[in-house]
Amino acid sequence: MKVEQLYTGCLAEMAYYIESNGEAAIIDPLRETDPYIRMAEADNAQIKYIFLTHFHADFVSGQYDLAQKTGAKIIFGPSATAEYDIYVGTDGELFPLGDINLKLLHTPGHTMESSSIVLIDKDGNTPYLFSGDALLIGDGGRPDLAVKSGSITEADLAGFLFDSLRNKIMTLPDDIIVYPNHGAGSACGKNMSSETFDTLGNQKKTNYALRADMTKEEFIKEVTTGLKAPPQYFPNNVRMNKSINTSIDEVIHRGTTPIDAATFKEMSDQKDILVVDTRSKETYTEEGTVPGAWYIGLDGSFAPWVGSLITNIDQKIIFIAEDETRVNEIAIRFSRVGYDNTLGYLFGGIKNWIDHGYEVDKIGSISGHEFVERLAAGTMEKPLDLRKESEYLSEHVVGVENFPLDFINSNFAEIDTEKEYFLHCATGYRSLVAASIFKANGVENVTDVRNGFVDIKETNAPLTEYVCPTTLL
Ligand SMILES: [Fe+2]
């Protein structure tokens, strides 16, 4: 028997590969199919089942394409419906796999069809629980994503989650290893640990969602308090996960089309095509970019930012890569959040663009030290902090307003394109993304603060520290 956790940092997502005696199961696969097929081939195994713990909101999963290629059965929990063929399992149903069994537990709460899977080995032991987003390490899955106006409220879902955790999961042996679907950085929970697994016994001691003396009312209050609006792409990804989409092979084939500089220029001038620059912060700022391009660097949380910032999921996109070796990966990473209209990349990179004599746009930058000096001297028109509200509230520079990157589209009307802006975040990624979007939207004078709050904190800048109001203590 083999159990492998496949962690994808960009999405803080964990898929699983399970193999026993020539048969394999995949739990919560990402959009691409090749890695799972290769793993099964290496084990000489046939992929028999593809389990989806729920209809994911934060990525498009690849069950349909994977089933088409392997003949595997797609299994969801009770009440799931989809445009393609699925098998809807029942609570407690056993799925034989080689010498072992996989037992489906219906654990609604995060969503109504949410289910977990217990691995039962050939001796009848239960060493692993694949908990989806019902139980996360340090948290329970957020209960607000599957609200249906008029029938199911956030509090109803939180109540179901309380019952699922107490009646289905906490009754399992304390030494069972909990393998969740998401880790820290994902928007599917609010308080996740950076660990990717733990024993149930340890979670009972450390995870607020499993506290033994908690009433249902207390639980509902705790899991629903402090939830921020989910990223705008979440409902689109849920819809795509219930539908048959363009095949991943076709999406990658089109997305990896090389585009010569002259054609790239023509396309970048078209209103309905967005240029995304995916290079490192350093090369992007040093070499400059195609005018109007958005910066979303591959080295940050690329896919979630694509999903959060590009409001039209059908947006036609052409992109700039650091080098040719990353082109395939970039097309896959766009498609993981459903951006299937990538039309290709700038062949020869920015060097080729410059060699053709085309205009290059650069974002100016200053150090954290200079930012603080100019702020103190009063020579800075509009300094903004691009971090999340929670980060801003915990500590920020006096006199700097919060303008979270997460809500840049909905709040952009507040920006005066005639003014001069200075943008900082925590480390310089989000501020650079924002600066590129400011520029693309007509703000000529925008400056990025390199290394953001990390550098600012090394100065003597006056900081406001969050003081917990006594009413919350
Ligand atoms: Fe989820």
Q: How many Å lie between the centroid of ligand 1 and the Cα of residue 134? A: 8
Tell me: do 96 and 135 sit in the same domain. Answer: yes
pLDDT, tens digit (0-9, with 9 covering 90-100), for 401-429: 999 999 999 999 999 999 999 999 999 99
Q: How many Å lie between the centroid of ligand 1 and the Cα of residue 62? A: 15
Q: How many Å lie between the centroid of ligand 1 and the Cα of residue 12? A: 11
Q: How many Å lie between the centroid of ligand 1 and the Cα of residue 234? A: 10
Tell me: do 390 and 310 sit in the same domain. Answer: no
Tell me: do 377 and 408 sit in the same domain. Answer: yes
Domain annotation covers residue 329: yes
Q: How many Å lie between the centroid of ligand 1 and the Cα of residue 152? A: 17
Domain annotation covers residue 172: yes
Domain, as residue range, for 255 = 246-355
Per-residue pLDDT, 185 = 81
Q: How many Å lie between the centroid of ligand 1 and the Cα of residue 224? A: 15
What average pLDDT does the segment 87-98 reach? Answer: 98
Per-residue pLDDT, 470 = 43
Distance CA 18, CA 96 (A): 12
Q: How many Å lie between the centroid of ligand 1 and the Cα of residue 340? A: 21
What average pLDDT does the segment 142-150 reach? Answer: 84
Window from 162-176, 226-240, 418-432 with minimum mean pLDDT: 226-240
Q: How many Å lie between the centroid of ligand 1 and the Cα of residue 146? A: 10
Is residue 231 within 8 A of residue 304, CB to CB? The reply is: yes
Q: How many Å lie between the centroid of ligand 1 and the Cα of residue 298? A: 23
Residues contacting residue 109 through CB under 8 Å, at least 6 positions apart: 134, 140, 141, 143, 157, 158, 159, 160, 161, 162, 163, 164, 165
Tell me: do 406 and 460 sit in the same domain. Answer: yes
Which comes out higher in pLDDT, residue 326 or 192? 326
Q: How many Å lie between the centroid of ligand 1 and the Cα of residue 151? A: 20
Q: What is the CATH number of the domain that holds 110?
A: 3.60.15.10
Per-residue pLDDT, 473 = 34
Tell me: do 251 and 222 sit in the same domain. Answer: no
Tell me: do 389 and 326 sit in the same domain. Answer: no
pLDDT, tens digit (0-9, with 9 covering 90-100), for 259-292: 999 999 999 999 999 999 999 999 999 999 999 9
Tell me: do 23 and 139 sit in the same domain. Answer: yes
Domain annotation covers residue 258: yes
Per-residue pLDDT, 188 = 73
Which tokens belong to 371? 């930012």
Tell me: do 331 and 371 sit in the same domain. Answer: no
Per-residue pLDDT, 469 = 47
Domain annotation covers residue 374: yes
Global pTM reads: 0.93
What average pLDDT does the segment 253-262 reach? Answer: 98
* Position 347 pLDDT exceeds 90: yes
Q: What is the CATH number of the domain that holds 444?
A: 3.40.250.10
pLDDT confidence band for 466 (50 / 70 / 90): low
Of 236, 260, 283, the position where a domain reaches its end is 236
Tell me: do 325 and 413 sit in the same domain. Answer: no
Q: How many Å lie between the centroid of ligand 1 and the Cα of residue 174? A: 24
Q: How many Å lie between the centroid of ligand 1 and the Cα of residue 7? A: 15
Per-residue pLDDT, 388 = 93
Window from 127-136, 192-201, 332-341 with minimum mean pLDDT: 192-201
Of 355, 384, 401, the position where a domain reaches its end is 355
Q: How many Å lie between the centroid of ligand 1 and the Cα of residue 188? A: 5
Domain annotation covers residue 470: no
Amino acid at position 197, single letter: F
In the chain, pLDDT over 70 holds for what percent of residues?
98
Q: How many Å lie between the centroid of ligand 1 and the Cα of residue 54? A: 7
Domain annotation covers residue 241: no
Window from 110-124, 148-162, 202-216, 441-455 with minimum mean pLDDT: 148-162
- Three-class SS of residue 73? strand
Amino acid at position 138, single letter: G
Tell me: do 175 and 62 sit in the same domain. Answer: yes
Per-residue pLDDT, 467 = 55
* Position 93 pLDDT exceeds 70: yes
Is residue 187 within 8 A of residue 196, CB to CB? The reply is: no
Which tokens belong to 246? 């363009």
Distance CA 218, CA 471 (A): 17
Tell me: do 33 and 10 sit in the same domain. Answer: yes
Domain count, the chain: 3
Q: How many Å lie between the centroid of ligand 1 and the Cα of residue 110? A: 7
Domain annotation covers residue 431: yes
Tell me: do 178 and 121 sit in the same domain. Answer: yes
pLDDT, tens digit (0-9, with 9 covering 90-100), for 353-365: 999 999 999 999 9
Q: How many Å lie between the centroid of ligand 1 and the Cα of residue 8? A: 15
Of 236, 261, 278, the position where a domain reaches its end is 236
* Position 472 pLDDT exceeds 70: no
What average pLDDT does the segment 70-92 reach? Answer: 98
Domain annotation covers residue 227: yes
Please give the mean pLDDT across all residues of the chain: 95
pLDDT, tens digit (0-9, with 9 covering 90-100), for 282-337: 999 999 999 999 999 999 899 999 999 999 999 999 999 999 999 999 999 999 99
